[in-house]
Amino acid sequence: MQTAVRAARALLRTSRTGRSSGRLAEQGFSLLEVVCVVAIIALLAAIALPAIPRATSHTRLEGYALEVATLLKADRDAAIRRRSTVASEISASSRYIRSGATGYVIRIPTDVHLDALLATRCRGGKAFAAITFFASGMSCGGTIMLTRLGIGYQIRVNWLTGGVEVVPDEKAS
């Protein structure tokens, strides 16, 4: 009880004189203590953040599908413009799609399932693991599927027109 009375008297003296005395001056945190706490929190965040998995989001999955479709459309346009054959290489095992016109490579992350349904034969020869575009605008056709956690997109290439479209994969749901 006496300590509470002393503390109240000291507080009263501080409010009258504007100066603190004794133990009341030691209350609170110094700037150095606050900086140390912030530095420790920053250090813990720097250690913990890389451990959080960076999975491919739904939006990023759609972005990959659109990027693949754009690459295929560019290869078709290049085949028409050059008046020659351009083959876009697809490797599901190595997880990439390579442009036949520019050599640009799209790498698909490991958490996204990449599958391709491609023609085995095209214009009398083997099609291998590629979608081939011809000077006429036609192609060998094929479908590339990108799926993750029940969400998916199909990139379809029409064999007759060479047209490329991206559609949500209804089977993935």
In 18-170, which ranges are continuous DSSP H helix?
31-48, 58-82
Is 152 inside any structural domain? yes
**41 and 125, same structural domain?**
no
Is 14 inside any structural domain? yes
Q: How many CB atoms lie within 10 A of CB 132?
A: 27
What band does 74 get if pLDDT is binned at 50, 70 and 90?
A: very high
Domain's final residue, options 51, 69, 85? 51
**94 and 22, same structural domain?**
no
**64 and 142, same structural domain?**
yes
Instruction: Tell me if the pTM is above 0.85.
Output: no
94-109 pLDDT, tens digit each: 999 999 999 999 999 9
**96 and 35, same structural domain?**
no
**158 and 80, same structural domain?**
yes
Is 69 inside any structural domain? yes
**43 and 127, same structural domain?**
no
**157 and 82, same structural domain?**
yes
What is the identity of the amino acid at 163? G
Q: Which domain holds residue 105?
A: 58-168
28-70 pLDDT, tens digit each: 778 888 999 999 999 998 888 776 667 778 889 999 999 999 9
- Looking up residue 108, the CATH number of its domain turns out to be 3.55.40.10
Distance CA 79, CA 100 (A): 9
